[in-house]
Amino acid sequence: MGDALHLAGQLVLSGDPDLWEIVLLSLRVSLIATLIACIIGLAIGSLLAVSQFRGRGAVLVVINALMGLPPVVVGLIVYLNLSRSGPLGFLGLLYTPTAMIIAQTILITPIIAALSRQILEDLNHEYAEQFRSFGLSRIGQMKALLWDGRFALLTVALAGFGRAVAEVGAVIIVGGNIDHLTRVMTTAIALETSKGDLPLALALGMILLTIALVVNGFVQSVRSTATRAAYA
């Protein structure tokens, strides 16, 4: 164990190209997935926050339930759609980073939609009358809420990214954990651990933890600055 840790540290510090390839692919896949999920999820969340319609309660229940989607199930569904015999098989996306981005986007969009809906709805309770008084359109209302909720929403995006980058079940099914192509941190850790190559698994684990710490620290400091200015 001690030896493995020592070797892991050396791997990280030596800038092992295989290791960094895996790290960078992980970041690329999960950042793009988070970005797409934010665009879709924030649109849904802000629309729900300012809308009243029949069946709204049911929609909220469904979205909240989707937050708990098991990654392997998402992986399976995306697999079935992208596999050669599936409806989107002609795109040839299975076992590519794009497939992993799709799976992670599906996984975290409900999280972003549900969490942002809650935040923006609370904000709207405070602003709604003033907005009506201004004669603000619904789109204008959504934009203003998204802007004024930006610091709280940063945490939501972070929650989505955290879930995406740490997830293994979906990406292993649709990505296939192919060396130099679709191998990301989590799938590599699973594989190397099962092979008994603990140093590489540990090195990746340490990097994953560090990323989580750095991103969290960054968001925390942005938020506390915003709170001091009463912007959050």
Q: Does 1 bind another protein (CB under 8 A)?
A: no
d(CA 220, CA 217): 5
Which of 70, 87, 140, 217 is in the footprint of another protein by CB under 8 A?
140
Minimum CB distance to another protein, residue 148 (Å): 4
Q: Specify the 3-state DSSP secondary structure of 230.
A: coil
d(CA 175, CA 79): 9
Minimum CB distance to another protein, residue 153 (Å): 12
Q: Does 194 bind another protein (CB under 8 A)?
A: no
Q: Give the count of beta carbons closer than 10 Å to the beta carbon of residue 81.
A: 17
Which of 136, 158, 212, 215 is in the footprint of another protein by CB under 8 A?
136
Which of 1, 13, 58, 229 is in the footprint of another protein by CB under 8 A?
229
Minimum CB distance to another protein, residue 216 (Å): 23
Q: Does 133 bind another protein (CB under 8 A)?
A: yes
108: Cβ contacts below 8 Å, ≥ 6 apart = 33, 34, 37, 41, 160, 161, 163, 164
Q: Specify the 3-state DSSP secondary structure of 84.
A: coil
- Give the count of residues interacting with another protein (CB under 8 A): 17
First to last CA, the chain: 44
Q: What's at 202, amino acid-wise?
A: L
Per-position x/- string for 91-130, each x denoting binding to another protein as judged by CB under 8 A, each - no binding:
-----------------------------------xx-xx
